[in-house]
């Protein structure tokens, strides 16, 4: 028996849970975890089920669920739990989020395979190579942006990348690239969104005199800093913190929030419902 | 259709979810929420299901689940969601937890019916009566303890009490009373258990120089301060806090932790698995 | 000897601490607590000193500091620590912040004297009178707003009010009233400012799908929701929270944040430095 | 002018602040930060003052304070703010705390000079050498423990080490070594002390069913897990966490708590008052 994760999004109506659990019971699968949520705003139903089953039986389960009358307009997927999410990391010069991802990947804390790291600067090459991963320099200027993005997308396709992580990547993606990566690119924004969008959020926070600073991980969309929020956290600060100290304090929150968002994505815990996320 | 909450504890084996969801589907019930957990330590399965169904059909659902082969050594219960938990509060002199419970009850934040407040002191009478509730004085001395507990249990039985809340009630219950109230009496201990058991925990915390103080809500057992923990929280403190300031700071944590534990119990979210709680 | 609190704001330059500590030493005063901060943005120096001294000697201390060459453009004040801040509370219909202030006042947690409660609705009268305090109804309509504010200011002056607390008072103050109350009126806004300004912040938060909701206490200024922030806090929420549940969850944060801000003001811990606060 | 940090511990009596500030004023030093605390339990006074002064004048300041009548049984020290604390790290196999210290050191977040890393295992050699630091293997067995500790102390002395950090070093230090390193060795214990002392604290926490797990950084003393606590933090967990997941979750808290304690020590913010710490 192998452990699998099934994710289902469909119209909300009676009988969905019965249809899924019957399909699993018929092949003697054992449900290990089960989460579900009905979103009244969108009338969508979301379900994440972890089950143990013979690998040969998984196709039978999918067919049974597919043919159920209870389940309409579905998005249905199953994967072995030990299949790791193929991940590409983008970074510029700040390496705190990158290091945290690399460390957690190597220590087994993040169920991802990192296929490589892309940067528009050379700064992080040594760190990436210490971890035995390929580092690809793709410089970006106003003139070369289109070419750089094309090169990036070629890499995404060649490596069958399932998740792109913008770990303090300081380039704004074009609408075209945002669309290509829709639902599979996570960015870390160094503020508690929707407060302090845009540049220099810690300086904005200092000027406004807030008593907490935070970070937000969100899916990338063409609408900058407005993508669906996955995870947020804050840390308490005082009047005595300078903007540069806020930046240092913020690094801890940023790396924690980004790593948690990546883990949730890699464990198939995140669903999109309109502009909001469901995170089981 | 009325909303119901079903709770189930049974041996962990395949087919439980299918049995429950089929039983619900047969009467056209709609599952609104569903949580489950398999405890590998005890091999027990726990499930909490919120569903909408005709009230007449609930008995049919129970019978179907009862007769399922998949479900053994079960504890199964259903109640209408709007049936409020009949609650008796015990208090001594400190009234911060009591006031918090009263306020949340009146504002609709806690789905309980408070049948009355019992105290071994007169101090809280005016507050209780302001909220329009019966206040019963049951003094306790070393000599009268047995009689006092007997009187208390008569009240519990007469009022069909489902939950007893010790809101800073400063008497140690006898083993007999603990047994009578097993699984339906919640105490607030003013420390982050298992640290600082026993008397004057804030003074202990001050002497030890801890940097956080906390509170723990737990079910009452004969083994003092060792009952299953339901909820805990902490708050940051510094060297500058005196023991009396720690007491004042702690009041906020105590009332929050106790109210959260009461809400979880009243919403049928807590299950016992050995000496641990499962809280959905 | 009586305990006093001295607060000083002046231009930042060498010798200030020496001038103050010498002035205190000359009358054999004993410094119990001392906090200071130099704001590089405004070049202002802030100091809060708690000391024990004979009451007769306080004027001598003030004169000595006043005549020091080191201290320019000063704002200097001393008060006995046990002199309680005369406070007026404004409220509309939601009573959770009001109750928290009343309870903390009565239990000695807040060093304030509440001179009364003013409301534009009758809802909170019973609660206020239970606590033995005067309740004044001042209804407000578009036509009577000017008169209502005039009546309020008369009360502020007649009662020598040092602090006005807007405990979910749902009226926008006129520019005139904001100016009258500058630096002595604290409002609680039910969001983590600067996010979700304006009406229905919890609904905004739900629509945006944030993972934390919060509250902010700030001094009232004519620039709505833009006054200097005193205290903020947040609480974690999930996708499952409805807007009405967010409102209920938020009540806890609001009352905690507002009470902490009132305590800081009443203990003379807050200084203004431009649009930011220094909170010792 | 150079920035200096002065720390003072002495008997608590009037005139200390005046003596210090006068001594500083006489050499035209400018006080930038100032913190003080009087511990009523031990009758000790603690002061940390950051000031700008000509380096030549520092000796004059010390002499003036030394000769003051107000200051008795003092411990007085001054150091340039940019003088970094010479630090030796001990580690066994778990490298999460080590990596966090190395990263923060390299990014400038920790004002320390790491003189080397000592381990009883080879596992962390590559990581240490990647950061360009000397790695010293000192194996420890029951038979060689005395020799190993002697070798360690030789290194401490040869390198003029001011701080030893036990970053998950899994050997119990002898009473002799504890004494040698008194007040300059920081350990991270993977529980919220005083709960769950001793081995396998996360397993203990799981068995007890706590709802928060934490970590504590403390000075090393001969009394195991009983040294003065410097910093603590916790993170929320649920019934669903297995012991191994608790271990993984705990790593984040451990590294954060240890790094914060090291920063506080390196910035001369920690004072000992009996078995408690004062942390400015």
**Selected residue of A32, A111, A252 to mutate for chain D interface (largest D Cβ count, 10 A):** A252
CB B262 within 8 A of CB B165: yes
Spatial separation of the C-alpha atoms in residues A168 and D91, rounded to whole Å: 30
Query: Which range is least confidently modeled, A109-113, B126-130, D189-193?
Result: D189-193
10 Å Cβ neighbour count for B56?
A: 8
Spatial CB neighbours of B217, under 8 Å, sequence gap ≥ 6: B186, B187, B188, B189, B229, B230, B231, B232, B257, B258, B260, B261, B262
Q: How confident is the model at residue D71 (pLDDT cuts 50, 70, 90)?
A: very high
Inform me whether the C-beta atom of residue A275 falls under 8 Å from chain C C-beta atoms.
yes
Report the mean per-residue pLDDT for chain A.
95
CB C99 within 8 A of CB C127: yes
Comparing CA positions, the residue from D77, D68, D25, D69 lying closest to residue D47 is D77
Per-residue pLDDT at D254: 97
Contact residues, chain B, for D205 at CB < 8 Å: none
Per-residue pLDDT at C198: 86
pLDDT in tens, D6-25: 999 999 998 999 999 999 99
Q: Decide if A36 and B31 are in contact by the 8 Å CB cutoff.
A: yes
Inform me whether the C-beta atom of residue A256 falls under 8 Å from chain D C-beta atoms.
yes
**Nearest chain B residue (CA) to A53:** B14
Q: What is the CATH number of domain D2-80?
A: 3.30.70.260
Spatial separation of the C-alpha atoms in residues C274 and C227, rounded to whole Å: 10
Whether A224 has a pLDDT exceeding 90, the answer reads no
Whether A225 has a pLDDT exceeding 90, the answer reads no
DSSP state of D83: P
Q: How confident is the model at residue D74 (pLDDT cuts 50, 70, 90)?
A: confident
Q: Decide if A279 and C37 are in contact by the 8 Å CB cutoff.
A: no
Can you give the pTM of this predicted structure?
A: 0.95
Whether B74 has a pLDDT exceeding 90, the answer reads no
Helix (H, G, I), strand (E, B) or coil at A218: strand
Question: How do beta strands D163-166 and D135-137 pair?
Answer: unpaired
- Cis peptide bond N-terminal to A194, omega within 30: yes
pLDDT along chain C (280 residues), means of 10: 96 93 94 92 95 95 94 94 97 98 96 98 98 98 95 98 97 96 96 90 93 97 93 96 94 97 98 96
Q: Decide if D34 and C25 are in contact by the 8 Å CB cutoff.
A: no
Per-residue pLDDT at A94: 96
Per-residue pLDDT at D122: 98
The nearest CA of chain C is from the CA of A114 a distance in Å of 27
Report the mean per-residue pLDDT for chain D.
95
Report the mean per-residue pLDDT for chain B.
95
Inform me whether the C-beta atom of residue A131 falls under 8 Å from chain D C-beta atoms.
no
10 Å Cβ neighbour count for B145?
A: 15
For residues B191-217, average pLDDT:
93
Q: Decide if B208 and D196 are in contact by the 8 Å CB cutoff.
A: no
C260 Cα distance to chain centroid: 9
Spatial CB neighbours of D22, under 8 Å, sequence gap ≥ 6: C18, C21, C22, D64
Per-residue pLDDT at A73: 86
Of D99, D109, D248, which is closest to A103 when you measure between CB atoms? D99
10 Å Cβ neighbour count for D63?
A: 11
Task: Give one word for A202, left, alpha or beta, with left for phi > 0 and alpha for psi -120 to 50.
Answer: alpha
Per-residue pLDDT at B73: 85
Of A14, A30, A34, which is closest to B34 when you measure between CB atoms? A34
Q: How confident is the model at residue A2 (pLDDT cuts 50, 70, 90)?
A: very high
Q: Decide if B32 and A24 are in contact by the 8 Å CB cutoff.
A: no
Of A99, A109, A130, which is closest to D103 when you measure between CB atoms? A99
Q: Decide if A276 and C232 are in contact by the 8 Å CB cutoff.
A: no
Q: How confident is the model at residue D212 (pLDDT cuts 50, 70, 90)?
A: very high
C-alpha neighbours within 13 Å on the C-beta side of residue B62: 14
Whether B110 has a pLDDT exceeding 90, the answer reads yes
**Nearest chain C residue (CA) to B32:** C240
Inform me whether the C-beta atom of residue D103 falls under 8 Å from chain A C-beta atoms.
yes
The nearest CA of chain C is from the CA of D279 a distance in Å of 15
Spatial separation of the C-alpha atoms in residues B98 and B246, rounded to whole Å: 19
B225 is catalytic: yes
**Nearest chain A residue (CA) to D128:** A130
Per-residue pLDDT at C185: 98
Q: Which of B12, B22, B57, B225 is catalytic?
A: B225
The nearest CA of chain C is from the CA of A237 a distance in Å of 10
Comparing CA positions, the residue from B196, B174, B195, B193 lying closest to residue B185 is B174
ipTM above 0.95, yes or no: no
**Selected residue of A8, A12, A13, A14 to mutate for chain B interface (largest B Cβ count, 10 A):** A14
Query: Catalytic residue positions of A?
Result: 225
Touching D (3+ Cβ pairs <8 A), the chains are A, B, C
Q: Residue A53 is encoded by which pair of tokens?
A: 């089953």
Q: Decide if B192 and D194 are in contact by the 8 Å CB cutoff.
A: no
Task: Give one word for C108, left, alpha or beta, with left for phi > 0 and alpha for psi -120 to 50.
Answer: left
Q: Residue C225 is encoded by which pair of tokens?
A: 């929701």
Q: How confident is the model at residue D73 (pLDDT cuts 50, 70, 90)?
A: confident
Residue B260 CA: distances (Å) to CA of B188, B256, B263, D268: 11, 6, 5, 40
The full set of domain ranges for chain A reads 2-80, 85-279
Touching A (3+ Cβ pairs <8 A), the chains are B, C, D
Q: Please name the residue ranges forming H helices in chain D.
A: 16-26, 58-66, 96-106, 125-130, 145-158, 175-180, 201-208, 243-266
Whether D131 has a pLDDT exceeding 90, the answer reads yes
The nearest CA of chain C is from the CA of B32 a distance in Å of 12
Inform me whether the C-beta atom of residue D54 falls under 8 Å from chain C C-beta atoms.
no
Per-residue pLDDT at C82: 96
Q: How confident is the model at residue B225 (pLDDT cuts 50, 70, 90)?
A: confident
- Burial category of B116 from C-beta neighbours within 10 Å (exposed 0-12, middle 13-18, buried 19 and up): middle
Q: What is the CATH number of domain B85-279?
A: 3.40.50.170
Contact residues, chain B, for C99 at CB < 8 Å: 99, 103
**Nearest chain B residue (CA) to D207:** B276
Whether D198 has a pLDDT exceeding 90, the answer reads no
Per-residue pLDDT at B198: 86
Contact residues, chain C, for B99 at CB < 8 Å: 99, 103
Phi, psi of B9 (to 5 degrees): -125, 130
Whether D213 has a pLDDT exceeding 90, the answer reads yes
């Amino acid at each position: 028996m192998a452990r699998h994760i099934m994710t289902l999004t469909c119209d909300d109506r009676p009988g969905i849970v019965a249809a899924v659990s019957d399909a699993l019971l018929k092949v003697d699968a054992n449900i290990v975890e089960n989460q579900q949520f009905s979103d009244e705003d969108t009338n969508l139903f979301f379900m994440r089920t972890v089950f143990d089953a013979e690998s040969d039986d998984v196709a039978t389960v999918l067919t049974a669920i597919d043919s159920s009358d209870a389940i309409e307009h579905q998005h249905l997927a199953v994967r072995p739990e030990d299949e790791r999410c193929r991940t590409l990391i983008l970074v510029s010069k700040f390496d705190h989020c990158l290091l945290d991802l690399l460390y957690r990947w190597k220590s087994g804390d993040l169920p991802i395979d990192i296929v490589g790291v892309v940067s528009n600067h050379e700064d992080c090459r040594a760190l990436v190579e210490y971890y035995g991963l390929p580092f690809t320099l793709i410089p970006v200027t106003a003139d070369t942006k289109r070419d750089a993005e094309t090169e990036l997308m070629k890499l995404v396709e060649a490596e069958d990348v399932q998740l792109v992580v913008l770990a303090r990547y300081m380039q704004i993606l074009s609408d075209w690239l945002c669309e290509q990566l829709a639902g599979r690119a996570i960015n870390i924004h160094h503020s508690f969104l929707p407060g302090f969008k845009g540049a220099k959020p810690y300086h904005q926070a200092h000027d406004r005199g807030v008593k907490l600073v935070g970070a937000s991980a969100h899916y990338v969309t063409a609408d900058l800093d407005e993508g669906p929020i996955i995870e947020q956290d804050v840390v308490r600060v005082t009047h005595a913190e300078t903007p540069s100290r806020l930046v240092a304090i913020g690094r801890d929150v940023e790396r924690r929030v980004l790593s948690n968002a990546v883990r949730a994505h890699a464990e198939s815990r995140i669903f999109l419902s309109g502009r909001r996320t469901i995170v089981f």
